């Protein structure tokens, strides 16, 4: 039933379908394809998937249902020569392809999408950044006579910005989401029991971990002292890579003589990154693997051309101490996850001899060790399942080799797959009885995909192995929370369909008129001209605050990149932001143009600080646009959403809006010396009321993060001092 309801929506508009693995996303694609072929018999269908095996799998599924000659269903991948692909584009009715091949053939003009009535984007969460999906969708909506898009994923991501990017890149107009808890899906969902087991690390692991974290803290404090990070808490490898990029960009801006502290920052970042990785190796793989990693590091430090950061790290006596501990205990203390995984698998096969099991492990080295130990058990036939990429002295598995392993897994010749991330997405892995997460992953997408390998046709189990006091615990709960947030966010979007910037969305403005009030100084701009092209009524008025008013609650400040940078220099920006936030319930800032970091006179960190203050301190979203045309498109869509979707009036606000009670409370506390908007919020969250904040002692004030000894003294001084009026 739920598939028919989703199909009913997909027939009418470009639709993103979010459906758990095994609940028939492909069936919806098949039914929609059949509908479009019936309605437009002279048109074609394109189905795309990220990998060749998955494209072949889709072709096989469609061919079982579609009443079409075999030659009408064709697969296009890099294995097909370009000349042959050109013939297939012209002759086939249903084409299954990888996106890279489609993009290449569009660019080289071997194909065009004019005569396609439907494109299916499988694993649609990939449609971000420069991935081929976005380019193909744009070419399609621009050229096709009767375009329709169906995007499929089990998990588009928890971040609203990423989901919006997917929707924008694929021109999505409607979202259909179902979870295992929805009433219309529940009857078809098999129960999946999820169990997490917290394991104690051996004392030697804890000792070594403490030595690594001690060194890591020193490097992080150095980065904080130099101003490259704000806090030493919860810094990840991804954070450190971002720091490296920011330092290099800043050094490039300051060439040819960047300050010495940038070089110190790079050294601290490089050491911190390696220590982060070493800690991760210890937590996930064990002492033996850590000893190997550190030994390689010390060898590299002795080689010509080795960096100063590696040399200094290798000389640290604590590194030598760790290697000594690991060498002394080599082969005697294994990671507790190994023995736990063995016990779980042994019990599974003793209770159910015909089981199929997948163990997901992040590192190939871990997978090797797990397979080696599993194959010592009776009735267990385990194989490592990895991707195609070559790593150091190990080549990957070709797609043919992967296919042979999966065939053996289906037949029972193999009953345990120990898989890296290649097993999460894009391969036709059959449903299994038990999934073991050897280590947790922070990504909700990977969490959902791993879990989806069980519970397809019968109840399944997931067991997550978590080492106490390690990033395992944080990663696991991060993934769980992100998944919950993803469903909440998508449900909100389903109830309140947001129009996307795209040709189809813009054409609708001619049918339902909207109005924008523009400051009279904006009238000569190209933005007003573009708004008129979109059929938007523009009324010129003299505005005290903002450049455009889109409803009784939405006011917009428009700044070119040049004006934005100048307003940082002359300190107008924060004053304008405050007035905008005080006047409008939903303020916005449109930042128009490119080259934000091109002005050498302003340090990139000053720009980033200004952007952060606007978003965090003032709650003003910043929407970047390339030019006046894109600015007008954004204004028109928001105006239409407010006036048509929300039935709001367009009105000029004559004075600042009345502050809410929480805003009034924060305003009072912000009046204390050295208390920013962020600190005011922390103080109120800690003490509960304004009265308790004012009555807190110096010691109590210092319990709040960001309030030090001096700041606490200043606050108490202002609150306790007698008022003396002076003329």
CATH of the domain at 631: 3.40.50.10130
Instruction: Give the residue, 45 or 449, on which the prediction is more confident.
Output: 45
Residues 282 and 168 in one domain: no
Residues 132 and 265 in one domain: no
The residue-averaged pLDDT of 660-664 equals: 80
Question: Does the pLDDT at position 39 exceed 80?
Answer: yes
Last residue of a domain, one of 143, 161, 188: 188
Question: Does the pLDDT at position 206 exceed 70?
Answer: yes
Residues 372 and 473 in one domain: yes
- Element (DSSP H or E) covering residue 357: strand 357-360
Residues 312 and 208 in one domain: yes
* Residue 196 falls inside a structural domain: no
Residues 270 and 149 in one domain: no
Q: How does pLDDT run across 386-431, given as a tens digit for each residue? A: 776 666 666 777 777 877 888 888 888 889 988 876 654 545 565 6
The residue-averaged pLDDT of 462-472 equals: 81
Question: Does the pLDDT at position 106 exceed 60?
Answer: yes
Q: What per-residue confidence (pLDDT) applies to 163?
A: 80
Residue entry with tokens 């980033």:
608
Question: Does the pLDDT at position 49 exceed 70?
Answer: yes
Environment class of 149 (CB within 10 Å of its CB; exposed 0-12, middle 13-18, buried 19+) = buried
Residues 319 and 353 in one domain: no
CA angle 85, 150, 168 (to 5 degrees): 100
Count: domains in the chain: 5
Report how far residue 585's alpha carbon sits from residue 657's, in angstroms, rounded to the nearest whole number.
7
* Residue 498 falls inside a structural domain: no
Residue 458, domain extent = 339-486
Q: What per-residue confidence (pLDDT) applies to 367?
A: 85
Listed in sequence order, the residues at least 6 apart from 114 whose beta carbon sits closer than 8 Å to its beta carbon are: 143, 144, 145
Q: What is the CATH number of the domain that holds 403?
A: 3.40.50.300
Report how far residue 8's alpha carbon sits from residue 475's, in angstroms, rounded to the nearest whole number.
38
Last residue of a domain, one of 188, 213, 248: 188
Q: What per-residue confidence (pLDDT) applies to 252?
A: 77
Residues 376 and 305 in one domain: no
Q: What is the CATH number of the domain that holds 267?
A: 1.20.1320.20
DSSP state for residue 454 in the 8-state scheme? B
- Residue 589 three-state SS: strand
Q: What per-residue confidence (pLDDT) applies to 285?
A: 78
Q: Is the CB of residue 645 less than 8 Å from the CB of residue 512? A: no
Question: Does the pLDDT at position 357 exceed 80?
Answer: yes
Q: What per-residue confidence (pLDDT) applies to 254?
A: 72
Q: What per-residue confidence (pLDDT) applies to 263?
A: 87
Mean pLDDT of all residues in the chain? 81
* Residue 572 falls inside a structural domain: yes
Q: Which pLDDT band holds residue 654 (cuts at 50, 70, 90)? A: very low
Environment class of 162 (CB within 10 Å of its CB; exposed 0-12, middle 13-18, buried 19+) = middle
Residues 31 and 176 in one domain: yes
Give the full edge-to-edge strand order of the sheet including 537-541: 537-541, 515-519, 548-549, 554-560, 586-592, 622-625
Q: Is the CB of residue 69 less than 8 Å from the CB of residue 91? A: no
C-alpha 584, offset from chain centre: 30
Residues 305 and 369 in one domain: no
Tokens of 703: 């319990």
* Residue 491 falls inside a structural domain: no
Report CA torsion sign: 161, 167, 171, 174.
Answer: negative
Environment class of 681 (CB within 10 Å of its CB; exposed 0-12, middle 13-18, buried 19+) = middle
Q: What per-residue confidence (pLDDT) applies to 635?
A: 92
pTM exceeds 0.85, yes or no: no
Last residue of a domain, one of 162, 188, 214: 188
Q: What per-residue confidence (pLDDT) applies to 122?
A: 92
Report how far residue 565's alpha carbon sits from residue 572's, in angstroms, rounded to the nearest whole number.
10
Q: How does pLDDT run across 534-551, given as a tens digit for each residue? A: 878 888 888 888 999 998
Describe the chain by its helix, strand, coil percentages, rounded to 5: 50, 15, 35
What's the chain's Rg over C-alpha atoms?
30
Instruction: Give the residue, 475 or 628, on which the prediction is more confident.
Output: 628
Q: What per-residue confidence (pLDDT) applies to 448?
A: 53
Nearest to 163 by CA among 128, 204, 113: 128
The residue-averaged pLDDT of 590-617 equals: 81
**How far are the Cα atoms of 100, 283, 576, 581, 694 from residue 667, in angstroms, in the given order?**
54, 46, 17, 13, 13
Q: Is the CB of residue 115 less than 8 Å from the CB of residue 145? A: yes
Q: What per-residue confidence (pLDDT) applies to 82?
A: 86
The residue-averaged pLDDT of 341-365 equals: 87
Low-confidence winner among 59-73, 137-151, 454-468, 681-695 (lowest mean pLDDT): 454-468
The residue-averaged pLDDT of 494-515 equals: 51
Residues 319 and 346 in one domain: no
Q: Is the CB of residue 381 less than 8 Å from the CB of residue 414? A: yes
Nearest to 137 by CA among 113, 157, 153: 113
Question: Does the pLDDT at position 173 exceed 50?
Answer: yes
Report how far residue 60's alpha carbon sits from residue 663's, in angstroms, rounded to the nearest whole number.
60
- Beta strand 515-519 with 548-549 is antiparallel
Backbone angles phi, psi at 174, to 5 degrees: -145, 145
Q: What per-residue confidence (pLDDT) applies to 511?
A: 44
Report how far residue 66's alpha carbon sits from residue 55's, in angstroms, rounded to the nearest whole number.
16
Question: Does the pLDDT at position 676 exceed 80?
Answer: no
Q: How does pLDDT run across 521-580, given as a tens digit for each residue? A: 888 788 888 887 787 888 888 888 899 999 888 999 999 988 888 888 888 888 888 888
- Residue 499 three-state SS: coil
Question: Does the pLDDT at position 211 exceed 60?
Answer: yes
Report how far residue 7's alpha carbon sits from residue 527's, in angstroms, rounded to the nearest whole number.
39
Residues 184 and 208 in one domain: no
Residues 20 and 169 in one domain: yes
CA angle 437, 443, 445 (to 5 degrees): 90
Question: Does the pLDDT at position 192 exceed 80?
Answer: no
Nearest-10 Cα torsion for 128, 131, 133, 134: 60
Q: What per-residue confidence (pLDDT) applies to 510?
A: 40
**Omega before 345 within 30 of 0, i.e. cis:** no
Longest dimension (CA), the chain: 96
Instruction: Give the residue, 501 or 660, on which the prediction is more confident.
Output: 660
Nearest to 426 by CA among 3, 172, 56, 18: 56
Report how far residue 377's alpha carbon sits from residue 357's, in angstroms, rounded to the nearest whole number.
14
């Amino acid at each position: 039933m739920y598939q028919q309801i989703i199909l009913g929506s997909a027939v009418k508009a470009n639709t993103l379908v979010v459906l758990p693995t095994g609940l028939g996303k492909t069936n919806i694609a098949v039914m929609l394809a059949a509908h479009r072929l019936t309605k437009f018999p002279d048109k074609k269908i394109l189905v795309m998937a990220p990998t060749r095996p998955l494209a072949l799998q889709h072709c096989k599924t469609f061919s079982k249902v579609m009443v079409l000659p075999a030659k009408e269903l064709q697969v296009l991948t890099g294995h097909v020569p370009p000349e042959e692909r050109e013939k297939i584009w012209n002759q086939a009715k249903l084409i299954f392809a990888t996106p890279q091949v489609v993009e290449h053939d569009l660019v080289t003009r071997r194909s065009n999408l004019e005569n396609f009535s439907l494109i299916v984007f499988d694993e649609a969460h990939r449609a971000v950044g420069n991935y081929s999906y976005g380019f193909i969708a744009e070419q399609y909506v621009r050229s096709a006579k009767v375009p329709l898009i169906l995007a499929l994923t089990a998990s588009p991501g928890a971040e609203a910005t990423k989901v919006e990017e997917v929707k924008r890149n694929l021109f999505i107009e409607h979202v259909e989401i179902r979870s295992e808890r929805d009433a219309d899906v529940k009857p078809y969902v098999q129960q999946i029991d999820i169990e997490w087991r917290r394991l104690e690390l051996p004392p030697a692991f804890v000792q070594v971990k403490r030595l690594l974290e001690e060194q890591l803290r020193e490097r992080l404090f150095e980065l904080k002292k130099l101003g490259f990070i704000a806090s030493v808490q919860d810094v990840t490898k991804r954070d450190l890579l971002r720091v490296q990029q920011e330092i290099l960009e800043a050094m490039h801006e300051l060439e040819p003589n960047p300050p010495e502290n940038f070089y110190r920052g790079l050294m601290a970042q490089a050491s911190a990154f390696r220590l982060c990785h070493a800690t991760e190796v210890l937590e996930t793989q064990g002492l033996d693997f850590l000893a190997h990693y550190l030994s390689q590091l010390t060898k590299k430090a002795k080689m010509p051309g080795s960096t100063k950061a590696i040399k200094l790290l290798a000389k640290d006596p604590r590194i030598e101490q760790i290697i000594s501990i690991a060498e002394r205990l080599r082969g005697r203390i294994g990671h507790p996850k190994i023995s736990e995984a063995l016990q779980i698998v042994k019990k599974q096969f003793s209770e159910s001899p015909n089981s199929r099991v997948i163990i997901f492990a992040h590192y190939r080295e871990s997978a090797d060790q797990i397979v080696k130990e599993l194959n010592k058990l009776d009735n267990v036939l385990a194989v490592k399942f990895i991707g195609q990429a070559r790593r150091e002295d190990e080549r990957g598995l070709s797609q043919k080799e992967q296919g042979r392993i999966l065939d053996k897994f289906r037949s029972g010749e193999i009953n345990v797959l120990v898989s890296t991330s290649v097993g999460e997405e894009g391969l036709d892995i059959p449903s299994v009885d038990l999934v073991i997460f050897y280590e947790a992953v922070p990504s909700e997408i990977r969490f959902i995909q791993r879990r989806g390998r069980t519970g397809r046709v019968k109840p399944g189990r997931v067991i997550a192995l978590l080492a106490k006091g390690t990033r395992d615990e944080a990663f696991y709960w991060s993934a769980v929370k992100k998944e919950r947030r993803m469903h909440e966010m998508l449900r909100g979007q389903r109830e309140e369909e947001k129009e996307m910037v795209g040709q189809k969305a813009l054409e609708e403005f001619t049918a339902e008129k909207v109005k924008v009030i523009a400051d009279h100084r904006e009238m000569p701009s190209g933005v007003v001209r573009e708004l008129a092209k979109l059929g938007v009524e523009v009324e010129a008025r003299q505005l005290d605050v903002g450049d455009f008013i889109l409803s009784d609650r939405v006011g917009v400040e428009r700044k070119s990149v040049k004006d934005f940078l100048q307003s940082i220099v002359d300190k107008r920006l924060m004053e304008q932001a405050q007035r905008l936030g005080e006047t409008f319930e939903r303020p916005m800032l449109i930042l128009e143009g490119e080259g934000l970091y091109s002005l050498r006179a302003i340090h990139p960190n000053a720009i980033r600080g200004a952007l952060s203050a606007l978003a965090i301190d003032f709650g003003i979203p910043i929407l970047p646009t390339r030019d006046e045309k894109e600015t007008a498109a954004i204004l028109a869509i928001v105006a239409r959403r407010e006036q048509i979707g929300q039935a709001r009036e367009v009105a000029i606000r004559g004075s600042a809006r009345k502050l809410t009670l929480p805003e009034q409370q924060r305003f009072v506390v912000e009046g204390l010396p050295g208390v920013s908007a962020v600190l005011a919020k922390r103080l109120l969250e800690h003490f509960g009321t304004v009265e308790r904040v004012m009555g807190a002692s110096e010691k109590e004030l210092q319990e709040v993060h960001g309030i030090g000894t001096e700041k606490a003294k200043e606050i108490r001084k202002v609150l306790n001092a007698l008022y003396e009026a002076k003329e």
